Amino acid sequence: MTKRNDMIAALEGREPAGAVPIWELEFHPWDSFSGRHVVLGREFEALSSAEQEKALYTNAEIILSVCSELNFAAVTVPGGYWYEAPGRLAYYCLPDEGRIKQTKILRKMAGDETMLVAAIAAVLNIPFSQEYEEFCYKLFDSPDEVEQMARSLVAKGIEDMKKFRDIGVEIILNPADIADNHGLFFNPEQMARFILPHVREWTADAKEMQLYSIMHTDGDIMACIEDLANTDLNALQSIDPIAGMDMRETKDLVGDRLCLCGNIDGGMMVTEGPKKVYEATRELLLSCKQGGGFVLGTSNACQREVEPECYRAMIHAWQDHGQY
């Protein structure tokens, strides 16, 4: 009975022997939990080669020590460069070569206890910033071009899966926001042409490679939840409470076909105190843990602004109510 075995059981839709596994889409407060500093992004890029190598080992030490303290069953390795807004680099990322090296070091140091998750892009999603308007026009004016974009993206994603599998990653995460608080961004015809075929393709390939697959999307996805459950996808992350998604309702619909990951409101982690977080976690666990197919975590990336005492309140609730 290990955290790894519990995570595998949940991803396979079974009830773990030990406890509900804990995993975060991305966990950002490494520094505040460890009292040390994880070096990422442009700060990492500015280092010499020798300094980068040292930083990667220090990063791994910090990440794995915090994972152990918080009982994480899996950890997402830093992603490749992407921009939250024009000129604003996302926090939890490394340049491609550094990302590969960091993954190898984490695999070597983690042993068998902590599973590694790597994010790859294989499905079209809602674009950011200045790309948004252009993409919206293309959906209607140039659907053949959009279809080619989708095909190229899934082909590249499958190649990336192979690369990360070969360096010890066991779970592939596809971050692909296909909805907002009002519902799906893509209409039914666009879902059928640009999205669902490629979800089926990359999840089937992940299964063939003996990788577990998780898809992340924000928003209200009830209109396509059955379609996602009828692919080889192992798990769905977010089950966005801000968009009105209810974990218990979703589990009743697809819990025998999809593992569900989340969905403690990430905003509550920042704006509310430990008591509120404990109560919400307790209610979620008591409502959703039976039968397995459930992974506990926040509803999106756990931000640096989250105070340790609030996150530890979630862990305390898990210790009290997350065991099988």
- Res 86: pLDDT: 77
Residues of the chain with pLDDT below 50 are: none
Q: How many CB atoms sit inside 10 A of residue 250's CB?
A: 21
Answer yes or no: are the C-beta atoms of 287 and 304 closer than 8 Å.
Answer: no
- Res 85: pLDDT: 77
Answer yes or no: are the C-beta atoms of 93 and 39 closer than 8 Å.
Answer: no
Instruction: Kindly list the structural domains of the chain, giving each domain's residue range(s) and its CATH number in brackets, ordered by start.
Output: 3-26+115-321 (3.20.20.210)
Instruction: Tell me the H-state helices in the chain.
Output: 3-11, 30-34, 41-45, 49-70, 96-110, 131-141, 143-165, 188-190, 196-208, 225-229, 247-254, 266-271, 274-288, 308-321
**How far apart, in whole angstroms, are the C-alpha atoms of residue 77 and residue 57?**
13
Task: Give me the half-sphere count of Cα atoms (radius 13 Å) on the Cβ side of residue 210.
Answer: 3
pLDDT, tens digit (0-9, with 9 covering 90-100), for 104-148: 999 999 988 899 999 999 999 998 766 889 999 999 999 999 999
CA 167 to chain centre: 19
pTM, entire model: 0.97
